[in-house]
Structure 1
Amino acid sequence: MNSTRLLQPGTLGPAIEKQTSHALHCGALQPIASDERTIDDAGVRFIVRQVSSLARKNAAKTAPAARTVASVPVNPFLPHDPNLFVADISETHFALLNKFNVIDHHLLIVTRSFIPQDTPLDAADFAAWLACLAEFDGLGFYNSCTEAGASQPHKHLQIVPLPLGAAGLRLPIEPLVAAAQWRGAIGTLPGLPFRHAFAALDPAAGDSPEAAHAAADHYRALLEAVTGPRPNSASDAHGETPRPAPSRPAPYNLLITSHWMLLVPRSAQSVESVEVNALGFAGSLFVRDASQMQVVERLGPMNVLRRVAMPADETR
């Protein structure tokens, strides 16, 4: 799928700042306060945030009368809250502030029409992601379904600015990325003790259409590497030849920067009540209270990730 870029270069950062100020003033944006600490484990300095008010987000998701109509869940993206709207990214995607943000300037990149969250990503998704990543130093991430940490069934990509840590810790897993090992175009990070696949991207390609198609090709190769061959997406690498629609992949998380992409298949949504989304595999975990913090301390952050991922030696 081709998608014309609507975002003008140099405008996203100012738009985020302006809309954040407005959304805070009118109450549309409801940041979740957290206490941040670091835990060194397996060569990674993990960021662990204890989020005392995370129950507020859960309550908003489950309030019976406010969130449902005739037993049908309300889609917060159709229509979206205009107070959270940041920018039109492309003909297929627009950007919203994350209403319940733990990290400042957390963006949701949402499809204009309803597409299920577990639908495989395509070149239009990557075009929207890369357009945003070209505007600031950020980390894109994707939770493919509820089991992988998604809270909404409408397809949405996400981006948070770097550094991830308040103390200037840019991206915890960067030391592991630097040690990537390769078999052709597919890499692995030796420090990750679970199944995953890694690909390098060309930052010089920026957010060109060619870069978006190349990223989509890498994504399909990563999926195949961890789950086995799957049908091609609805278009070939140049968006020209129709192909059969792909089947829904098993749960997975995806991380993307302007330099690389990491895909991790999932086996569980949580371990001992500690839920993990894609940011966990970047080295950033969230816990609701002191008891969950104790779980992470007892197991070790890397072991938490290992237990929600797939075994490294499992084959298909």
Structure 2
Amino acid sequence: MRPGPRPSANSRRELDAAGVRDARLRAAYLRCRRLNALHGRTYFLATRMLTARQRPAVHALYGFARWVDDVVDDHDRRRPPEQRDAELDRLESVLRAGLRDGGSTDPVVAALVDTTRRYAIDPALFDHFLTSMRMDLSVREYPDRAALDAYVHGSAAVIGLQVLPVLGTVSRPAEAAPYAAALGRAFQLTNFIRDVGEDLDRGRVYLPADELAVHGVDRDRLQWCRRTGRPDRRVRQALSEQVARVRADYRAARPGIELLAPESRPCVATAHTLYGEILDRVVESGYAVFGRRVSVPRRRRAGVALAAAAAVTGVRARALLGR
């Protein structure tokens, strides 16, 4: 493992709080932290609301998911699907060996294995995740909502279930699990709407074909919108329906925040708010998701984070007072 940049005071404090003492394992967690900070800005901002001891585990889970995603998408487009499939086989073998042996020489897997052990995360969740990721190598579109839901279960719902033990709950975990899965789905479906143009460039459509067809929309029409950089009336109507569906998912997931441990609620509430506002920006743009990437302005992200930080301070003050 090559040494990375010198760790910051914040990252050292997080690892100390999490009880990570081994030097190689600390370096592994730092690798995952850098992946999270670099590629998942909204997600990383939300993790700042967690306690220091929780953050390394969330970084590890993100780091593994990002690694797999990069293998599947191969942004340089240098490797054919069969080579990427072989790389997933190798990665899966490394993960299985790590979970079996309790460690790995690969830094991302080493951090993931340690997190899985510390929080008793069900290893089967990683199998579901990899199954959906493999679908991206061959599946280019989804005929209906049921087919898309099967993919989203492994690509997103299980991510919520992986993170749930790290967040902690005030009720039985089984009671909070459906809400965690629902929020993971809502985040993923938000990405599908925002990134429809980029996904087309990779040959994929993550919007149910039958629901698009109701509005007279098919892949060819979406491709036309990508080429011209603007949606037509039918596509705007179709995307409006998709936005309404995902907003309903956010409303359904919201009650689950109160089932989380108090110190975790501001983090999840921040992610819930900021990801939900991506949909608002999509609508405000006139569904202009074919020519640019819609995002929540930095000032707004900072404002939501500041409010959440105040809530975190209150939770921790009450904990210190024994309330």
TM-score, scaled to structure 2:
0.26
**Which structure has greater strand proportion?**
1
- Relative contact order (alpha carbons < 8 A, sep ≥ 6): 1 or 2 greater? 1
TM-score, scaled to structure 1:
0.26
Structure with max Cα Rg? 2
